[in-house]
Amino acid sequence: MKKNEIIHKIRLARLAHVQWVQRAKSLVNGLAIKEEDIPLTPDACAFGQWFYSDGQILLAIFNDKSVKELEDLHNHLHEEYFNIFRIYFDVSNLNFFSKLLNQGKKVSEDERNRAHVYLKSLEKISDTLIKKLNIMETKINMAEENIFEKYS
């Protein structure tokens, strides 16, 4: 993969991540969401799909610890998001996922406040993830093109 392709895919993954966080905010703020907007597991969202496929090239470029930190942050985001999701939806039977979306729970003021706390945590984790991704992108940008020839 060429350097510009790696950078382009990182940028697309970052954009997908930012949109995912916006959907979490929408849920907490009471806006309607669609089934495809609710990827609950780390490998189901667009960022995760990139990370576990094309994003694995990061392991060849950076040390395992840096990439593992990115993965851990991403997993933690989904844990926080699931905490939010459980406040708004009955998750006792996720096999009927499409029905879940039509059966939103009545949410108390206390639950709404808890959702906002989870959202703040999610946003903080997201900021850290984006900073780490930005650093990786900057390092790739600064590297010579010929370094990436072996990944083609």
Is 152 within a domain? no
Distant-in-sequence, close-in-space partners of 37: CB < 8 Å, separation ≥ 6: 23
List alpha helices for the chain, DSSP H: 3-28, 46-51, 58-61, 64-88, 97-100, 109-142
**Where residue 98 falls among pLDDT bands split at 50, 70, 90?**
very low
Number of domains in the chain: 1
C-alpha 64/C-alpha 123 separation (Å) is: 25
Q: At 43, phi and psi to the nearest 5?
A: -90, -5
Could you list the residue range(s) of the whole structural domain that residue 79 is in?
3-144
On whether residue 110 sits in a domain, the answer given is yes
Q: Which residues make Cβ contacts (< 8 Å) with residue 126, sequence separation at least 6?
A: 17, 18, 21, 77
Does residue 149 fall inside a structural domain? no
Q: Is 150 contained in some domain? A: no
76 occurs within a structural domain: yes
- The pTM for the full model equals 0.88
pLDDT tens digits, 16-35: 999 999 999 999 998 877 65
Length of the chain: 152
Mean pLDDT of 30-44: 81
Return the closest-CA partner of residue 149 out of 11, 29, 57.
57
Distance, in Å, from the CA atom of 145 to the CA atom of 5, rounded to the nearest integer, reads 11
Alpha carbons within 13 angstroms on the beta-carbon side of residue 91 total 10
